[in-house]
Structure 1
Amino acid sequence: MPELPEVESLAGFLRERAVERAFVRADITAISALKTFDPPISSLLGLPIDDVRRHGKFIDISAQGIHLIIHLARAGWLRWREEQSTGLVRPGKGPIACRVVFDDGSGFDLTEAGTQKKLAVYVVRDPAEVPGIAKLGPDPFTLTVEQFGDILKAAGRVQLKGVLRSQSVIAGIGNAYSDEILHVARMSPFKPASNLSADELQQLFDAMHDTLRDAVARSAGLAVQDLKSEKKSGMRVHGRKGQKCPVCGDLVREVSFADSSLQYCATCQTGGKPLADRRLSKLLK
């Protein structure tokens, strides 16, 4: 799933190429992807783009008071073309959920792999009309360490992993970067959020900022098609089960859940003690 660094780079890519371009086509080919009906998507046609911004994991393309909001979900992606096809895409056929064409002939397709169709497109007059944006917590880059500490205290005994990836608590961090942040901070993903000393709070805050800023810097200026490989290659532990930890050389371990998993280094993060695999534990009961 694209997270804050990749979405920030996508927004910057579109800002550079699409601002001042006008919509000439905006076709929804996966009916389930369009989550709004007023204003209609056709209201974008002819409007020049003013700006492209990021709200958490949402991309906001604004044009004369109308906003095209995109959430790529777990398996979605944006595929840019300097010369976009103007052919009609048959609804329900293939991975394309939406096709956009600008007045210079460029444009993009929104695609989604797999059978779980969760990619979402909204056309609204105010981004706050999108439920997911209205519920977003603060952006990590806007937080002070004191505000971050207040968030963790309010979370109580909730595990750090869950707090970091909850969009209503902190916007933009998902499964991958929460693993990375906790590895950099040398903390267990299961550590209670409110159980941090002042030094540990600063350590986690710095790890969050450093990890995200490094990822944003690595992604800056990359072509859209290169962002996925850059994200994968930059991971220290996420998605690297069984490989060596780049810090200590121990093997990266995994804990599996019903619909996701986390990766960590026991030596760096849990004092050498492996965490119980929750899915396996249920089977053994």
Structure 2
Amino acid sequence: MPELPEVEALARFLGERVAGRAVGRVYPVAVHALKTYDPPVGSLEGQTVAGVARHGKFLDFRVGPAHLVVHLARAGWVRWSDKLPALPPRPGKGPLALRVLLAADAEGGEGGDGGERGTGAGAALSGEGFDVTEAGTQKHLAVYVVRDPRDVPGVARLGPDPFDPAFTLDAFRDLLGGERRQIKGVLRDQSVIAGIGNAYSDEILHAARMSPFKLAAGLSEAEVEGLWAAVGSTLADAVERSRGLPLKDLKAEKKSGLRVHGRTGEPCPVCGDTVREVSYRDSSLQYCPTCQTGGRPLADRRLSRLLK
């Protein structure tokens, strides 16, 4: 699942290529993925892309007066191409959910003014653009066309972003203060902190040398400070590793940079102990017993306690 570092990299990569360009065609191939109808998706055609932003795990393309907001869910991705076919793609059972083609006329006018650029239905297409795809049979990818990104329910519910200057140690301490849940679940809750998912919550807890089952409200001051630092450094390092990479390499870079997540049975790169796993119904977490739980393996999640 793309998380904050990958979506940040996508936003930067795409922003460099589409800002100031006009949208030529938008093809909503997977109708189930389109969650809004007003404004219509066709209203984006002929409009200038002012830029690409990120809200948690949401991509936000500012197109004229509207926003094209995409949530990639578990198996979604964005693929850039310099040579997309001009013919409309056929709806089917394939992974393609949305195609956006840029207009050939890249001159005239500055991006960001939200105005028309004379590239309506008859505009020539450049061949440049991107596909939004979703692998697998479970289709959860979501596309919204809205006037304000906060009109998207998932964006409206987001907690503070770890890269926001307001995400201070004091603010983090306040977020955890009333939480009687396990810290793993708190870190993944998008209404508490935006952008952290299953993979990077594992990595953050490993960097902080903290059990994923520890109660958030019970953390000591030293533990809160260490966890806050681990959030910032882990995410910043992941974004930096992705800087300048083509989109096709981002997934491999994420996997190669993970120290415990997805590495069950492998040696911990810090202490050499074997990375272990706790399975959920539809996901799992990984951790190092020596680094995080005093050498003791965690029990099944249903027990929510350490094995004795």
- Distance in 2 (CA, whole Å) between partners of 1:23 and 1:93 is 26
Contact 1:60–1:127, Cα closer than 8 Å, also in 2: yes
Distance 1:34 1:182 in 2: 35
**Distance across 2 between alignment mates of 1:34 and 1:180:** 33
Aligned counterparts of 1:242 and 1:4: Cα–Cα separation in 2: 26
SS in 2 for 1:170: coil
Q: 2: CA distance between counterparts of 1:86 and 1:242? A: 48
Give the alignment's Cα RMSD to 1 decimal.
1.2
Deviations 1:215-253 (A, max 9, x none): 010011110000000000000000000000000000000
Candidates 137, 140, 143, aligned match of 1:115: 137
Residue 106 of structure 1: aligned partner? 128
Q: Helix, strand or coil: the match of 1:225?
A: helix
1:275 pairs, out of 298, 301, 304, with 298
The corresponding residue for 1:266 is 289
1:203 maps to amino acid: G
Q: What displacement does 1:279 show?
A: 6.5
* 1:248 partnered with 2:266: no
Quote the Cα distance in structure 2 between the aligned partners of 1:190 and 1:250: 19
- Residues 2-21 of structure 1: CA distance to partner in whole angstroms, max 9, x if unpaired? 00000000000011000011
Q: Which residue of 1 aligns with 2:148?
A: 126
Give the residue type in structure 2 aligned to 1:37: Y
Tell me the secondary structure at the aligned position of residue 249 of structure 2: helix
| Post-superposition CA distance 1:153-185 (Å, at most 9, x none) | 121x20110000100110000000000000000
Deviations for 1:127-168, whole angstroms, at most 9, x for unmatched residues?
A: 01000000000001220001000000121x201100001001
1:63 Cα deviation from its structure 2 partner:
1.5
**Partner Cα distance (2:95, 2:250) in 1:** 19
% same residue: 65
Task: Give 2:159's aligned residue.
Answer: 137
CA–CA separation in structure 2 for the residues paired with 1:87 and 1:79:
18
1:165 paired with 2:223, answer: no
CA contact (8 A) 1:254 1:277 kept: no
In structure 1, what is the Cα distance between the partners aligned to 2:27 and 2:80? Answer: 15
Q: Is the 8 A contact 1:181 1:211 kept in 2?
A: yes
1:97-126 Cα distance to aligned partner (Å, 9 max, x none): 111100132101111111110011000000
Q: How far apart in 1 are the matches of 2:302 and 2:131?
A: 37
Unaligned runs of 5+ in 2: 104-125
Question: Match for 1:154 among 153, 178, 194?
Answer: 178
Superposition pairs of residues 10-89 of structure 1, within 5 angstroms: 10-89=10-89
Q: Which has the higher helix share?
A: 1
TM-score after normalising by structure 2: 0.89
Partner of 2:261: 238
Q: CA deviation at 1:83?
A: 1.7
What amino acid maps onto 2:12 in structure 1? G
Q: Give the conservation status (yes or no) of the 8 Å contact 1:255–1:263.
A: yes
Higher Cα Rg, which structure: 2
What is the letter of the counterpart of residue 23 of structure 1?
Answer: V
Contact 1:258 1:279 in 2 (8 A): no
Structure 1, unpaired ranges of 5+: none
Q: TM-score, normalised by structure 1?
A: 0.96
Return structure 1 stretches of 4+ with deviation > 2 angstroms.
Answer: 277-281
Q: Which one-letter code corresponds to 2:298 in the other structure? A: L
Aligned to 1:208: 231
Per the alignment, in what secondary structure is the counterpart of residue 138 of structure 2? coil
Q: Do 1:256 and 1:279's aligned partners in 2 also have CA atoms closer than 8 Å? A: no
